[in-house]
Amino acid sequence: MEQDFIDNQLSVNLDSTDAFEGPEKLLELWFAPNEFTLPFSIWNNKSLFDIPYIEIENLLNKVNCQILSHKRNNFIHAYLLSESSLFIFKHKLILKTCGTTTTLLSLEKLLNILKTFINNKLTELPIFTVFYSHRSFMFPEKQLLMHQSWDDELNHLNKFFKIENSKDFIFGNDIKNKWHFYVNKGNDKLFPQVNSTNDITIEILMTGLKNVKIFYRNEKGIDGHINGIKMMEISKFNKILPLDNMIHDAFAFMPCGYSSNSIKDDIYTTIHITPESEFSYASFETNYPINDEETLNNIINNVINALKPEQYTVTVCYEGIKREYLSNKLHNHNQTDIDASHGYRVLCAEFL
């Protein structure tokens, strides 16, 4: 599939010299268990795909990032951003942004967009489930607004979602490497008979990267997407999942750094790398369904072998998945396994 959109000027001129904060803020908003269960009374036979492109740009401007490029299939619109990625399905939205982006400011803006283009009677976000998470920031004092502390972030989330429906956790023994996680259930009355969605999100959060030379570039004035695809092929990031014919989008920043999105049907992966030795960081994320221990082992090993981090954390947020598929690989690595409520469990394992 051809590139659906590319900002050529931004792709050539974007410079990441002053970038510093790799760990991303991850906001995931589910408006229904799947595209077929969006409540008609709210969505009027529409979906998130009915939001105009200009409004997606306006939403991201509120967060302080821009669209580099955009690829799509029938299930996912995947946006590669100046600071990480955005994935829009018909029934859910995944916003992952690094640096000093103001991710949670997207909530009010998104409500206004839905009121304008979906239902002008909305008074709150019609959420099925919401997740928010991030690793400890390397430079928390440089974050903006509510993102300077976890308590402030929770207070902001509580303005939009009922606190009695929420749970939050902080995982990890290393104070510099903790993982913060929040989950909230929306209005159950809209979804009276919902079966498990078999949802899963796997993240690998890495520091102390040893294999990062290929993520530096010196050619000014060349589209970062050309170099990005070269980096993807050299690192074999296009082979992490056992899937053929994925649609890939990758970008190499100047003078260094890398981002990529890959999609096939309703499966996505995204990878982001900040290679500078003083604060090197990389993240990998996918919703690829895990059906056996070998699949999980292969995915983790493919990522770790490509980047060779000194430390990494694996997080798995899952629903309806057999736990034994996940346990052995993560066993005895400072593993925490908790009931996050709302049908979800969360595993977090530190490899230090």
- Encode 44-56 in three state secondary structure: CCCCHHHCCHHHH
| Whole-Å CA distances, 67 to 9, 57, 93, 230 | 11, 7, 15, 21
Q: What is the CATH code of the structural domain delimited by 5-15+24-351?
A: 3.60.90.10
- Residue 317 φ then ψ, to 5°: -105, 120
Q: Per this entry, what is the length of the chain?
A: 352
Residue 174 banded pLDDT, cuts 50, 70, 90: confident
Assess contact for 238 and 246: CB atoms under 8 A. yes
Selecting among 77, 91, 156, 272, the annotated active-site residue is: 272
Residue 9 banded pLDDT, cuts 50, 70, 90: low
Instruction: Pick out the residues of the known binding site.
Output: 20, 83, 253, 276
Catalytic site residue 98? yes
- Quick one: pLDDT at residue 338? 87
Average pLDDT over residues 67-76: 97
Residue whose structure tokens are 């949802």:
199
Asked whether the predicted pLDDT for residue 340 surpasses 90, the reply is: no
Mean pLDDT of the chain: 89
Nearest residue to 185 (alpha-carbon basis) of 81, 33, 10 = 33
Q: What's the pLDDT tens digit per position in 204-219?
A: 999 999 999 999 987 7
- Quick one: pLDDT at residue 175? 74
Asked whether the predicted pLDDT for residue 232 surpasses 80, the reply is: yes
- Quick one: pLDDT at residue 332? 57
Question: Of 13-22, 37-46, 334-343, where does mean pLDDT reach its minimum?
Answer: 13-22
Go through 35-46 and write b for each residue having 16 or more CB atoms within 10 A of its CB, e for each that does not: bebbeeebbeeb
Catalytic site residue 84? yes
- Quick one: pLDDT at residue 293? 79
Assess contact for 89 and 136: CB atoms under 8 A. no
Catalytic site residue 256? no
Q: Which residues contact 249 (CB under 8 A, 6 or more apart)?
A: 3, 69, 71, 78, 80, 225, 228, 260, 261, 262
Question: Of 8-17, 41-50, 143-152, 287-296, where does mean pLDDT reach its minimum?
Answer: 8-17
Instruction: Pick out the residues of the known binding site for substrate.
Output: 20, 83, 253, 276
Whole-model pTM over 0.85: yes
The four Cα atoms 161, 163, 167, 172 give a dihedral, to 10 degrees, of 90
Structure tokens at 178: 């903790």
Q: Beta strands of the chain (E only): which ranges?
A: 5-6, 25-30, 67-72, 77-81, 84-88, 92-97, 129-135, 166-171, 179-185, 200-209, 247-252, 258-264, 267-274, 281-286, 309-318, 336-341, 344-351
Strands 129-135 and 166-171 come out as: unpaired
Run of H or E including 232: helix 224-235
Catalytic site residue 11? no
Question: Of 2-6, 71-75, 180-184, where does mean pLDDT reach its minimum?
Answer: 2-6
Average pLDDT over residues 233-246: 96
User: How close are the terminal C-alpha atoms of the chain, in Å?
Assistant: 40
Selecting among 259, 260, 262, 280, the annotated active-site residue is: 259
Query: What whole-number distance in Å separates Cα of residue 221 and Cα of residue 22?
Result: 24
Query: What whole-number distance in Å separates Cα of residue 131 and Cα of residue 167?
Result: 10
Neighbours of 167 (CB within 10 A): 16
Selecting among 11, 69, 82, 84, the annotated active-site residue is: 84
Nearest residue to 172 (alpha-carbon basis) of 143, 132, 134 = 134
In the chain, where the domains are located = 5-15+24-351
Residue 1 banded pLDDT, cuts 50, 70, 90: very low
Asked whether the predicted pLDDT for residue 117 surpasses 90, the reply is: yes
What is the torsional sign of CA 319, 321, 323, 325?
Answer: negative
- Quick one: pLDDT at residue 147? 95
Residue 277 banded pLDDT, cuts 50, 70, 90: confident
Query: What whole-number distance in Å separates Cα of residue 19 and Cα of residue 128?
Result: 35
Average pLDDT over residues 193-210: 86
